[in-house]
Amino acid sequence: MRNSTENIYQQKVNQVIDYISANLHLPLQLDVIANKISVSQRQLLRIMRSALNESLYAYVARQRIERTVLYMQTERMSLTKLAEMVGYDNPQSFSKAFKKQFGISPKAYIDELQSRLEGYVQSSGNRSSLQSEVCHFEGLELAYIRIFGKYGETESYETAWNKLMLFLKDNQALTRETRFIGLSFDDPNVTNHGQCRFYACASVQKKIAPIGEFGTIQLKQGKYAVYTLKGSCSGLQELYNNISVNFEYTIRHGMAFEEYINYSKENCEEDVTKIYIPIK
């Protein structure tokens, strides 16, 4: 595939994935999505199957169900409300789709997940109280590159971050004020490792046009609980599990993210990562 064709293809994939992620509460009709990226419905299905390694229909169905797991961890909701929030016409259709994906009912699944997380925290020996601070985040415009696969996999992550740094330099967008952000759209305790989506991001102070595999996204302002991890990023999942089990705030529906304050390839003990969780 020629470079120009590959860039167009990558950009269309980004547009579709970001549109679906932002609109899971809608019907997401095939013709509407195809029109948004100016391709036929047949082309859309072919492009996305190649990019996702699953059909677009399967991807949307999976995203809807996995999103409800996040909502159920956030607060107690009726099946009717959950169905409405991810685009199902009625709770019966939602329950059937949930059981098809996970094999058990929504309530049974969330109880099992919570028990599993508590087991992870107990086995890690890290049962101490969590230290956090509350802040008002001002919002950021971000340039990103997407990674599909197991969170933290060294080779794919290093390749993506290196590509992003070159992209910023080519666009004269890398400054002392640049902030480096990680967006994890999927929970590895819920989503298969090979299907997890991660965005390696950097803040930008000027408008940058999306091109090829590089997209743009906005982190909105709001109130966040902030947790700090000092040392290797390999401890992030353990910290996330601890937060899930011992969270003391009321979560609001928003985008959690990581900010990498300091990173040393030579000495990971100097690394500092902040986790931002949206709260009411």
DSSP collapsed to 3 states, 113-149: HHHHHHHHHHHHCCCCCCCCEEEEECCEEEEEEEEEC
Which residue shows structure tokens 């299905």? 45
Q: What is the mean pLDDT of the chain?
A: 91
> How many whole angstroms separate alpha carbon 30 and alpha carbon 57?
9
pLDDT in tens, 213-255: 999 999 999 999 999 998 888 888 899 999 988 888 888 888 9
pLDDT in tens, 70-98: 899 888 889 999 999 999 999 999 999 99
Higher pLDDT, 271 or 44: 44
User: What is the model's pLDDT at position 198?
Assistant: 95
Task: Provide mean pLDDT across the span 164-169.
Answer: 96
User: What is the model's pLDDT at position 18?
Assistant: 94
> How many whole angstroms separate alpha carbon 47 and alpha carbon 39?
10
At 71 the three-state DSSP class reads helix
- Which helix (H) or strand (E) segment holds residue 242: the answer is helix 236-246
